[in-house]
């Protein structure tokens, strides 16, 4: 796998992790895409407030992207050390509402929960990532339609 394909794969799996969790938890988004050069991507959430400590689904959506990315990297035998910036940002949001020890415990809990959900639905993450690699952009409806053809 060349560097370009690796970058696109990383972006696709990262965004697919966000999107699959969003679909499962009914977090609304309009579309998802990856840049043609593979150096980024986005899931366009319709309502999203990183400072909302009440809606735990947002934490799971945030964390799911970096987890899916890390698993993809491990699959292609290339991993990076350290925490993803999105996970660190989630931690800092938690720190606004909780003491450090509690924030760390919550972050670990959400990382475990997001990982467990992704494990159960990994074939769907793969399907969305592969479809995103083919098309570069998917609407929420297209994601739902692609997922309807799979079995977790």
Instruction: Give pLDDT tens digits for 28-52.
Output: 999 999 988 877 888 988 776 655 5
CATH code of 65's domain: 1.20.58.760
Whole-number pLDDT of residue 39: 79
- Residue 140 CA to residue 29 CA, distance in Å, equals 6
User: Could you read off the pLDDT of 102-129 as tens digits, one per residue?
Assistant: 878 888 898 899 999 999 999 999 999 9
| Cα 95–Cα 27–Cα 6 angle in degrees, nearest 5 | 80
Give the structural domain span for 122: 3-148
CB 118 within 8 A of CB 64: yes
Exposure b/e, 95-131, CB count within 10 A at least 16 = b: eeeeeeeebeebbeebbebbbebbeebeebbbbbbeb
Q: Is 63 exposed, middle or buried (0-12, 13-18, 19+ CB in 10 A)?
A: buried
Domain count, the chain: 1
1 has a pLDDT exceeding 70: no
Instruction: Measure the CA–CA gap between 62 and 67, rounded to whole angstroms.
Output: 9
CB atoms within 10 A of CB 22: 23
Percent of the chain with pLDDT over 90: 46
pLDDT at position 103: 79
pLDDT in tens, 66-114: 999 988 987 765 545 555 666 767 776 777 777 788 878 888 898 899 9
């Amino acid at each position: 796998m060349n560097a370009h394909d690796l970058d696109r794969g990383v972006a696709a799996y990262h965004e697919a992790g966000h999107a699959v969790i969003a679909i499962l938890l009914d977090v609304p988004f309009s579309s998802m895409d990856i840049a043609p050069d593979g150096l980024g991507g986005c899931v366009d959430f319709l309502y999203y407030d990183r400072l909302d400590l009440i809606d735990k689904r947002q934490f799971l959506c945030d964390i799911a992207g970096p987890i899916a990315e890390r698993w993809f990297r491990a699959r292609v035998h290339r991993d990076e050390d350290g925490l993803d910036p999105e996970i660190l940002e989630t931690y800092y949001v938690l720190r606004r509402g909780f003491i450090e020890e509690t924030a760390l415990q919550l972050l670990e809990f959400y990382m475990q929960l997001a990982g467990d959900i992704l494990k159960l639905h990994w074939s769907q993450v793969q399907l969305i990532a592969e479809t995103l690699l083919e098309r570069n952009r998917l609407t929420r409806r297209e994601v739902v339609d692609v997922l309807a053809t799979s079995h977790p």
